[in-house]
């Protein structure tokens, strides 16, 4: 990287806010995905003004620029695929305002997702989107990827909880505020466009989020099955009856045993699948819905339906769910978490298909996912030290994603496209769709310096920076 750029960045931010030594950069070449890409330089802005100046420097030196929160993303969204500068938002982590009456908080992008809830819990409020990584992931990353989580089934994903943004434009570092505390857009819904744009249109420096009222009552149920089909059929029936649980998660038997060995949550070790269900709201509604869900699960073959007796039991069940990936990490040198969506009624056949693909490819595929909204997370275990294995994993993953699309589903439900699936976009979109999306990116990010080579297929982007991706070898986790 141009040493003059590094010097200018140091002058702007101070020496302690700029990393360029190789050993320092190593920390930033991964995120939660199986990809990697090394930045040439990492900077830590402290203010919107800093971000604006960094943007101007990137433009002047024609250097790619990528935003990064906690680096927990699962599609390579925060990886600098074409090198350049990574701007880490760790120092922009203040909650600027809490407006309890309007149920809004104004926060900086580096605020950790769960810290928003912690800051407003005493007011009986919380921030609804709850990705599994919520203890570490940041709201800036959530906004970029339009993150989800188990409870988005009833409450929607990040985009449904963001009403305003302050953004910095790539062409000249200009700061623009879009939306506000109101949910009613005045003019085109630019906030709706920005959320989920994967950091390819502008850099977000401030976010106005909607806060939800904590429910009066919560009930958490665990339905235990001896056959996967019975579990998936239960989900179909719950959906069909118009019951909307706050969350409806499924874990298959193998995943469950692995999790249980790790967290000791009291999950049964001898079942084929469990559904972890939660209902929230008024006492009356919660009681009725819990009863109806139990009835459906039993009628569909659940051998047991447990109801968490208190907050401790509930937390334990959720701890199992939220730490599942960590538990599996203890067993396998590496794993690939997929993210695909199907119409909910197609769950039974889809899980059977995933099992077939696992058998045919010789990989263990675990299933732990948001069953209620058809958002699958097949988890393929593999060993990157075996030559050719990663390529076979990618092929198996592709077969699963192709099945999702064939069912009328989508490429990604919450992890984003990033550099993981940008070449799969034509499975879902026509050349005309992609051309239009390319025009959108070019109109906001005309030099293609902001998060290049993400979301759209390479060679499709107007104004896309033409830099070859790093070699496949370096994309493998060590």
Minimum CB distance to another protein smaller for 166 or for 230: 166
Least separation in angstroms between residue 186's CB and another protein is 5
Scanning 45-174, the segments in alpha helix (DSSP H) are 48-60, 113-120, 139-145, 152-155
Residue 215 is encoded by which pair of tokens? Answer: 């429910």
Least separation in angstroms between residue 20's CB and another protein is 33
How do strand 85-88 and strand 65-68 relate by DSSP bridges? parallel
Dihedral, 129, 133, 139, 144 alpha carbons, nearest 10: -90
Least separation in angstroms between residue 278's CB and another protein is 16
Minimum CB distance to another protein smaller for 121 or for 282: 282
Least separation in angstroms between residue 453's CB and another protein is 15
Minimum CB distance to another protein smaller for 40 or for 414: 414
The CA distance from 187 to 451, in Å, is 27
C-alpha 417, offset from chain centre: 10
CB 313 within 8 Å of CB 198: no
> Would the CA dihedral through 451, 153, 269, 135 be positive or negative?
positive
Minimum CB distance to another protein smaller for 94 or for 439: 439
Minimum CB distance to another protein smaller for 42 or for 247: 247
Residue 7 is encoded by which pair of tokens? Answer: 């010097």
Scanning 156-195, the segments in alpha helix (DSSP H) are 190-194
Least separation in angstroms between residue 94's CB and another protein is 18
Least separation in angstroms between residue 167's CB and another protein is 9
Minimum CB distance to another protein smaller for 394 or for 462: 462
Least separation in angstroms between residue 320's CB and another protein is 22
Residues in the chain: 478
> Would the CA dihedral through 153, 154, 158, 159 be positive or negative?
positive
The CA distance from 370 to 235, in Å, is 10
**DSSP letter at 162?**
E
Minimum CB distance to another protein smaller for 24 or for 99: 99
């Amino acid at each position: 990287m141009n040493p003059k750029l590094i010097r200018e960045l140091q002058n702007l931010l101070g020496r302690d806010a700029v990393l360029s030594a190789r050993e320092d950069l190593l920390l930033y070449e991964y995120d939660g995905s199986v990809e990697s890409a090394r930045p040439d330089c990492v900077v830590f802005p402290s203010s919107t003004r800093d971000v604006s100046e960094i943007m101007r420097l990137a433009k002047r030196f024609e250097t790619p620029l990528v935003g990064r929160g906690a680096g927990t993303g699962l599609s390579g969204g925060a990886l600098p695929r074409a090198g350049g500068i990574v701007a880490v938002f760790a120092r922009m982590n203040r909650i600027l305002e809490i407006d309890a009456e309007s149920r809004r908080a104004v926060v900086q992008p580096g605020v950790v997702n769960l810290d928003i809830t912690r800051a407003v819990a005493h007011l009986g409020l919380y921030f609804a989107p709850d990705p599994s990584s919520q203890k570490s992931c940041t709201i800036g990353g959530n906004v970029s990827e339009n993150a989800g989580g188990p409870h988005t089934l009833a409450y929607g994903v990040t985009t449904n909880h963001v009403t305003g943004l302050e953004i910095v434009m790539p062409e000249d570092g200009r700061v623009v505020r879009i939306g506000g505390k109101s949910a009613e857009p005045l003019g085109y819904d630019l906030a709706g466009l920005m959320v989920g744009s994967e950091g390819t249109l502008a850099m977000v420096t401030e976010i106005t989020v909607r806060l939800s009222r904590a429910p009066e009552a919560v009930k958490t149920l665990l339905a235990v099955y001896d056959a996967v089909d019975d579990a998936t059929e239960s989900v179909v029936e719950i959906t069909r009856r118009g019951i909307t649980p706050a969350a409806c998660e499924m874990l298959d038997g193998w995943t469950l045993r692995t999790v249980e060995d790790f967290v000791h949550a009291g999950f049964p070790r001898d079942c084929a699948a469990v559904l972890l269900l939660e209902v929230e709201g008024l006492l009356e509604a919660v009681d009725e819905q819990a009863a109806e869900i139990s009835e459906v699960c039993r009628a569909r073959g659940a051998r047991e339906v447990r109801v968490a007796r208190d907050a401790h039991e509930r937390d334990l069940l959720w701890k199992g769910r939220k730490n599942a990936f960590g538990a599996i990490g203890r067993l396998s040198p590496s794993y690939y978490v997929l993210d695909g969506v199907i119409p909910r009624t197609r769950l039974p056949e889809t899980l059977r298909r995933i099992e077939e693909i696992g058998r045919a490819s010789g990989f263990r595929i675990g299933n732990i996912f948001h069953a209620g909204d058809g958002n699958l997370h097949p988890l393929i275990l593999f060993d990157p030290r075996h030559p050719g294995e990663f390529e076979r994993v990618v092929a198996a993953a592709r077969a699963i994603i192709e099945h999702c699309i064939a069912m009328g589903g989508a490429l990604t439900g919450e992890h984003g496209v990033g550099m993981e699936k940008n070449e799969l976009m034509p499975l879902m979109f026509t050349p005309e769709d992609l051309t239009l999306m390319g025009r959108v990116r070019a109109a906001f990010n005309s030099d293609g310096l902001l998060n290049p080579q993400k979301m759209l297929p390479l060679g499709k982007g107007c104004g896309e920076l033409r830099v070859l991706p790093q070699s496949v070898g370096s994309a493998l986790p060590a």
